Amino acid sequence: MNPGDRIRNLRLWKRMTQGELVEGISSVAYLSKIENNLASPSSRFLHEVAGRLGVQPEDLLQPASVRFEDEIRGIFLAYWERDLITGDDISKLSLHLLEVHSNETYLMMYAVLIRYHYLNSTYKAGLELYAASLKYVKENDTETPEFVLFYYYQACGLLFFNLQDFVKSNQYLLRSETFAKDRSHKDKARLYFNLSLVHQRLQYDVGLCLYYSEKACFHIKQLNDPNRTANLVLTRGIQFLLAKRPEEAMQCVEEARELVREDGNEELLAAIDYNFGRAHQLAGEYEQAVAFMYRSLDRFAKLPDSTKVQQNYRRLIEVYLQLRDWQKAAECLQIAERYAEQNKEVLFDIELHLLRAQLYRYTEDTRKYEKELHRLLDYCVKMNQHHQVKSIGKQLGDYYYERKSYRKAAECYHVMSRNM
């Protein structure tokens, strides 16, 4: 690969036009010749363009070699073990994906980039990277180190969790679990926490949620991190409420209250406020739930992650539906849908569509309610989302049965039974 190829590929990855890249450096015509390998770049041009692309000039000149392997491994470990990453790191890894490396190095790069994109809510880019990474994944791989596979599978699992494909998410997280034996308390806490959330969403067995959240709590408590412990304990409290075990749930809520510290980590504090709100919601204490949800939104407003904001609005919609405040429910739905628009190419937000259907039902717009649920049912059948097919099929079947539309009810129950 020539310098021109590297410049073009990195420019396209960063979504820059030729004019944006060389403004104040050279003419677009000169860049075009270099990118098409019709001219060799000058030393001055390489230095200035490399700076704008966030890489070193030698990265544009030289093919990947052993000297880069240690650097890539360092970026990989810093991100997964200490949550440290820079824009320059991301640019460098994106460039090196275009070079020749070992399978191990490719998987390290993909594990970082996939994680980076789902944490920044750029799911389309994350999904493209996931698809490209599959050719480097081998069945019964005995060559790639276990810690690399542990993080790579976890990255894939959490990408699909954010895309609401909880079956696929669970499959990847379970693969990650097979390599968890020698990982740190922090790594295990994160994995088991996410497995508990996946099983909470799959609704197969609430006991599995509690099993994994108990394991996560054990490992997080070894780290002396009060706020992360509080967040996990609150999640466990929510799962106790879902399991109809209110006494244990309230014990978790009180334990979390004792742990929380205002330490300046707005993202974590926002998540804690959200979980307090969720616990109050499930306990039927709606006024307190709304107060915590809005406090969480105030904190998340300072952060770039729109998915967490959207999650808050989903819960507020549920609360306002329970309070029969249709106007506020509709307002929150409208805001949540604006956030969902950002990832509509790759994420069909099933939860949001279900909430819209509920609003139609509560406001007695039966035609739109039926149309929305049928649309959702067809989508979930097509995407093999069996747990959602079961839930939506039963909801729609029960609805028709109550209205004595027995043939339509039978059709829905039949679809449900075929997907169990």
% of the chain with per-residue pLDDT over 70: 97
Mean pLDDT for all residues in the chain: 90
% of the chain with per-residue pLDDT over 90: 64
| 217-271 per-position pLDDT tens digit | 999 999 999 999 999 999 999 999 989 898 999 999 999 989 988 877 888 888 8
Q: Which amino acid, 47?
A: H
∠ at Cα 279 (275, 281), nearest 5°? 110
Q: Is the pLDDT of residue 66 over 60?
A: no
Q: What integer pLDDT is reported at residue 15 of this predicted model? A: 78
In this structure, what is the dihedral angle of CA atoms 175, 178, 181, 187, given to the nearest 10 degrees? Answer: 10
Could you tell me the pTM of the whole model? 0.79
Q: Is the pLDDT of residue 302 over 90?
A: no
pLDDT band at 67 (very low <50, low <70, confident <90, very high): low
Q: Is the pLDDT of residue 304 over 70?
A: no
| 346-398 per-position pLDDT tens digit | 788 899 999 999 999 999 999 999 999 999 999 999 888 888 899 999 999 99
- Can you list the domains of the chain with their CATH numbers? 3-61 (1.10.260.40), 272-343 (1.25.40.10), 366-420 (no CATH)
Q: What is the DSSP string of 323-353?
A: TT-HHHHHHHHHHHHHHHGGGTTT---HHHH
Cβ-contact 321, 358 below 8 angstroms: yes
Long-range contacts of 308-315 (CB under 8 A, 24+ apart): 308/267, 308/270, 308/271, 308/274, 309/339, 310/336, 310/339, 310/340, 310/349, 310/352, 311/274, 312/274, 312/277, 313/339, 314/351, 314/352, 314/355, 315/274, 315/277, 315/278, 315/281, 315/289
Within 8 A by CB and 6+ apart from 258, the residues are: none
CB atoms within 10 A of CB 178: 11
Cβ-contact 2, 37 below 8 angstroms: yes
| 3-state SS class at 239 | helix
| 282-300 per-position pLDDT tens digit | 999 999 999 999 999 998 8
Q: What integer pLDDT is reported at residue 95 of this predicted model? A: 81
| 306-347 per-position pLDDT tens digit | 567 888 999 999 999 999 999 999 999 999 998 888 778 778
